[in-house]
Structure 1
């Protein structure tokens, strides 16, 4: 028997209204045969809970659901065994080969812009550049992340570099102590912090 929702709650950096929490309870009761993953995706869609790239905040939702279960507000389906996830090897192509050094002034490169990397081909190329030219090679970022190409348009469009901004890790004791955040402060403000 689940408890009755009596107030708003902040979980995984998001404030849930009573109405939203009741909606989550109803979704879980309505779809008892969904896996945890399917349940999290469904709840994210209902709440429009997405990242800056318009992807469902699946991991944050799973975390929130676990906390709701600990509070006795929901009863989740049992976890199903998962297949081990293998990371794909990054293949180097001609596109990411080193180009000759640029021997010109910044003004001669024309307009310098940041281009958000969104489609699959661009993401693959971005990963390839970083894997080939970064001293640590490419590692899949943890959590939400935005990838950019640094572009110039003269003498022709060209990639000058790559940038990555990722969401901050949820728990980082030294950071929280240095900022003097307690749990409530972190939940309220963590979404304002990025890693680069």
Structure 2
């Protein structure tokens, strides 16, 4: 796969000419079926945060609840569901046995200028330590749940256990959390309430851009250090 990618890059630069492609191999990720719909109690939930207690936050990856998580995110998150690549964890929050929210965390993107400047790491350190950052891929409060402060409460609850959960599954901790907020849709209120730091914005180029013209909407970049020594851990490149 690496050799094929290199050959395609060389051809795109006009350095070589590859023979005509005989066939296009199947891409199991592109052909992945959309998650099945799920039926849950969607009776409206109003009131104060205290009315929901106790709230149970469960890690549901590789459990029977994972299909429910996938179905809810597919149906109710504006970005839909995309199967994460690489290391990832999925959480569901329950109140009175009913799901009220879903959170997904995954591997961090290779290069985010605002984030990388905030960390101050070298290219070598980034190559070595990128896996020590977790990206908040999805955060969904189910649409029939209208409870003030629930989102920031769940963020705080999740980040307090995330590094240990990562350690348990992948044998290493995470030291920094990040997320991208589409400011055309949201203000990032719950991240601000949980004391996340806005360090800039994305360029909007995306992974597939071959020019400097933005392909995507620019997003605010928020980070949350899980330890005061996060720079020491992330910038280590020996």
Q: Give the TM-score taking structure 2 as reference length.
A: 0.41
Q: Give the TM-score taking structure 1 as reference length.
A: 0.49
- The structure that is helix-richer by fraction is 1
Larger Rg: 1
- The structure that is strand-richer by fraction is 2
